[in-house]
Amino acid sequence: MHLENLVDLKALNAKLPGREKSGRKSKTKGAWHKQGPSPAKKAKKSSKSSSQLSKLAKQAKEIKQLKMKLKTQQRKKTRK
Protein backbone atom coordinates (compact mmCIF):
# COMPACT_ATOMS: atom_id res chain seq x y z
CA MET A 1 0.00 0.00 0.00
CA HIS A 2 1.23 3.46 -0.83
CA LEU A 3 1.08 6.25 1.73
CA GLU A 4 -0.98 8.39 -0.67
CA ASN A 5 -3.70 5.72 -0.77
CA LEU A 6 -3.79 5.52 3.02
CA VAL A 7 -4.17 9.29 3.34
CA ASP A 8 -6.99 9.29 0.79
CA LEU A 9 -8.79 6.48 2.64
CA LYS A 10 -8.48 8.36 5.93
CA ALA A 11 -9.85 11.53 4.33
CA LEU A 12 -12.77 9.61 2.82
CA ASN A 13 -13.55 7.86 6.10
CA ALA A 14 -13.54 11.18 7.93
CA LYS A 15 -16.13 12.59 5.50
CA LEU A 16 -18.55 9.68 5.93
CA PRO A 17 -21.33 10.26 8.48
CA GLY A 18 -20.86 8.56 11.81
CA ARG A 19 -17.11 8.22 11.33
CA GLU A 20 -16.07 11.39 13.17
CA LYS A 21 -14.98 9.53 16.30
CA SER A 22 -13.30 6.18 16.27
CA GLY A 23 -13.75 3.59 18.98
CA ARG A 24 -16.62 1.75 20.60
CA LYS A 25 -19.92 3.54 20.95
CA SER A 26 -22.54 2.30 23.37
CA LYS A 27 -26.17 3.19 22.87
CA THR A 28 -26.98 3.22 26.59
CA LYS A 29 -24.58 4.45 29.19
CA GLY A 30 -24.07 2.40 32.31
CA ALA A 31 -25.16 3.48 35.77
CA TRP A 32 -21.60 4.56 36.64
CA HIS A 33 -21.94 7.46 34.21
CA LYS A 34 -24.71 8.96 36.31
CA GLN A 35 -22.79 8.77 39.56
CA GLY A 36 -20.48 11.59 40.54
CA PRO A 37 -16.76 11.11 41.14
CA SER A 38 -15.79 8.90 44.07
CA PRO A 39 -14.70 10.61 47.28
CA ALA A 40 -11.13 9.41 46.63
CA LYS A 41 -11.11 11.15 43.25
CA LYS A 42 -12.62 14.29 44.80
CA ALA A 43 -9.84 14.37 47.39
CA LYS A 44 -7.17 13.96 44.71
CA LYS A 45 -8.43 16.92 42.70
CA SER A 46 -7.09 20.27 43.83
CA SER A 47 -9.50 22.83 45.24
CA LYS A 48 -8.67 25.27 42.43
CA SER A 49 -10.11 24.79 38.97
CA SER A 50 -7.93 24.43 35.88
CA SER A 51 -8.80 27.95 34.69
CA GLN A 52 -7.59 29.42 37.97
CA LEU A 53 -4.42 27.35 37.75
CA SER A 54 -3.75 28.57 34.22
CA LYS A 55 -4.25 32.17 35.36
CA LEU A 56 -1.76 31.62 38.18
CA ALA A 57 0.72 30.09 35.73
CA LYS A 58 0.42 33.14 33.46
CA GLN A 59 0.97 35.47 36.41
CA ALA A 60 4.04 33.50 37.47
CA LYS A 61 5.43 33.76 33.93
CA GLU A 62 4.88 37.52 33.90
CA ILE A 63 6.58 37.90 37.28
CA LYS A 64 9.58 35.93 36.05
CA GLN A 65 9.83 38.11 32.95
CA LEU A 66 9.65 41.30 35.01
CA LYS A 67 12.35 40.01 37.37
CA MET A 68 14.61 39.28 34.40
CA LYS A 69 14.01 42.79 33.02
CA LEU A 70 14.88 44.30 36.40
CA LYS A 71 18.09 42.31 36.57
CA THR A 72 19.15 43.43 33.09
CA GLN A 73 18.37 47.07 33.92
CA GLN A 74 20.43 46.88 37.12
CA ARG A 75 23.32 45.32 35.20
CA LYS A 76 23.20 48.14 32.65
CA LYS A 77 23.20 50.75 35.43
CA THR A 78 26.24 49.23 37.14
CA ARG A 79 28.17 49.10 33.86
CA LYS A 80 27.69 52.81 33.14
Question: In angstroms, rounded to a whole number, what is the distance separating the alpha carbons of residues 61 and 67?
Answer: 10
Question: In angstroms, rounded to a whole number, what is the distance separating the alpha carbons of residues 9 and 3?
Answer: 10
CA atoms within 13 A of residue 75's CA, in its CB half-sphere: 6
7-64 residue pLDDT tens: 566 666 666 555 555 555 555 555 555 566 666 666 666 566 778 888 889 999 999 9
Question: In angstroms, rounded to a whole number, what is the distance separating the alpha carbons of residues 2 and 18?
Answer: 26
pLDDT greater than 60 at residue 2? no
User: What pLDDT shows up at residue 62?
Assistant: 96
For residue 20, give every residue at least 6 positions away whose Cβ sits within 8 Å of its Cβ, in sequence order, or none. 14
Give the pLDDT band (50/70/90) at residue 65.
very high
